[in-house]
Structure 1
Amino acid sequence: MKIRVVSSREEIPHLNPGEKVIHLAFRPSNKDIFSLVQTCPKVEVIQIPSSYRRTVSKSIEMFMQMQDIKLIEGDVWGHRKDINEYYSIAPALLDKIKELKSEGMSDENIVSKLEREGKLNKEMLFYILSKK
């Protein structure tokens, strides 16, 4: 699984329309979010750093809820955009999720276990679990 990292609003018009998970590494305005949803109609998750999350307007939150897009807080630790525009979730983490699910562990227990081990936050882990 890959997360598309967007460093500036100038990148939005050039995104692949099929992107589903996007991390915005800048403080998005309402216009930026509308532009992103228009450019990438299949987007399911928009992740922004927690310091920017507090500045997102209620109207954008409602718009995203109506579009069935999850807005989550989080960072992509250690990612270098100059090397790769995508942050890849380690296949070992995905294998671990499958293994824990097959053992009958609840989603909440899987998330609490992997949140301590990995670099992903709780909301992103729940999203990944919903896709597996």
Structure 2
Amino acid sequence: MRIRVVSSREEIFTLNPNERIVHLAFRPSNKDIFGLVETCPKIEVIQLPKSYMATVSKSIEMFLQIQRVQLIEGDVWGHRKDINEYYAIPSSVIEKIKEMKIEGKSTEEIEKKVAREGKLNPGMVAYILTKETPA
């Protein structure tokens, strides 16, 4: 699973329309979010750093809900955009999530443990849990 890291407004309009998970490494305006959803119609998740989450307007939150796009707080730890524009979630983390699900662990328990060990936000772990593991 890959997260497309976007570090500037100008990059939004050059994105592949098939992107599903995008991390915005800048403080987006309402116009930026609208542009992102328009450019990437298949988008499922927008991830923002914690400090930027507080500045997202209620109207954008509602717009994203209507579009069925999750807004998740989180970071891409240690990622260097100049080397690769994608942050890859290690397959070992996804395997760990699948194992814990098979063991019958609760969703909250999986989110907490994997978030701590895998340096992922619990919201992203929850997304992986719904996408990668069958119900």
| Structure 1 length-normalised TM | 0.98
Gaps of 5+ in 1: none
| Structure 2 length-normalised TM | 0.96
Residue in 2 aligned with 1:29? 29
Residue in 1 aligned with 2:97? 97
Gaps of 5+ in 2: none
Deviation, structure 1 residue 33: 0.3
Deviation, structure 1 residue 98: 1.1
Deviation, structure 1 residue 109: 1.1
What do residues 94-113 of structure 1 show as CA deviations (whole Å, max 9, x unaligned)? 11111111111121111111
Moved over 2 A (4+): none
Quote the Cα distance in structure 1 between the aligned partners of 2:112 and 2:31.
Answer: 35
Q: CA RMSD in A?
A: 0.7
TM alignment of 1:56-67, pairs within 5 A? 56-67=56-67
Residue in 2 aligned with 1:5? 5
Percent of aligned positions that are identical: 69
Deviation, structure 1 residue 59: 0.7
Residue in 1 aligned with 2:15? 15
Deviation, structure 1 residue 16: 0.3
Residue in 2 aligned with 1:125? 125
AA aligned to 2:28 is: P
What do residues 24-47 of structure 1 show as CA deviations (whole Å, max 9, x unaligned)? 000000000000000000000000
TM alignment of 1:35-114, pairs within 5 A? 35-114=35-114
